[in-house]
Amino acid sequence: MIDTNQASIIELISRGDIQRRVTELAEEISRDFEGQELVVIGILKGSWVFLADLVRELTVPVIIDFMTVSSYGASTKSSGVVKIVTDLESPIEQRSVLLVEDILDSGLTLRYIVDNLRRRGPSSLKICAFMDKPVRRKADIRADYVGFEVPDRFVVGYGADYAERFRNLPYIGYIEEDAHGGEQG
Ligand code: IMP
Ligand code: MG
């Protein structure tokens, strides 16, 4: 385990780079959904920082809803077991839906959520992942919008946590393991 009091965070994506990329993504999404109202669904907790920045730059009307799923707990390893802890408040039948995630890693979490939401009959369902670790993929799933591709490191900040910590970092960094061998997801 990584001792979060001792961990050093190495910056990978700066605050400025994040801001510029979020603006680009918002422009692209606004263009693609022109003339439609979008239901933006944030997967909690990881997506809230990104979602807050993204939706304020969208030029299409939006409804915002959240879903809480359990995936990793306090570990960095995917269990493959996904449970909906808190469901959406709004129906999404015949709506244009954009799912917002912090990181697409194994893809097991999103695969489960997408299958679940599709059964509710949205007119379209797109995925926006702030970060993507394509080399880690186990499930057959890809994001329609990706902020950054990141290497196979455990990253934190801008909503992404390690054991609930570091979500408030305004940049993305990875945790440097010490010489005594920390665990990685
Ligand atoms: P997946 O099911 O393996 O795709 O991962 C689902 C969730 O695990 C993501 O939405 C994140 O909340 C979390 N996760 C995966 N990789 C990382 C990471 O590097 N840092 C922090 N959280 C991660
Ligand atoms: Mg998480």
- Report the separation in Å between the CA atom of 152 and the middle of ligand 2, taken as the mean of its atom positions: 15
Instruction: Summarize pLDDT for 94-142 with one digit per residue, the tens.
Output: 999 999 999 999 999 999 999 999 999 999 999 999 999 999 999 999 9
- Residue 3 annotated among the catalytic residues of the structure: no
- Report the separation in Å between the CA atom of 161 and the middle of ligand 1, taken as the mean of its atom positions: 9
Predicted TM-score (pTM) of the model is 0.90
Q: Which of 46, 103, 106 is nearest to 79 (CA)?
A: 106
Task: Say whether the peptide bond before residue 45 is cis (omega within 30 degrees of 0).
Answer: yes
CA distance 30 to 98: 11
- pLDDT of 165 over the 80 cut: yes
| Active-site residue, selected from the candidate residues 105, 115, 152, 178 | 105
pLDDT confidence band for 185 (50 / 70 / 90) = very low
CA distance 86 to 157: 23
pLDDT confidence band for 177 (50 / 70 / 90) = confident
67, 70, 103, 156: residue to mutate for ligand 1 pocket, most atoms within 8 A of CB: 103
- Among the atoms of ligand 1, which is closest to the Cα of residue 78? 3
The mean of the pLDDT values for the chain is 91
Average pLDDT over residues 41-68: 97
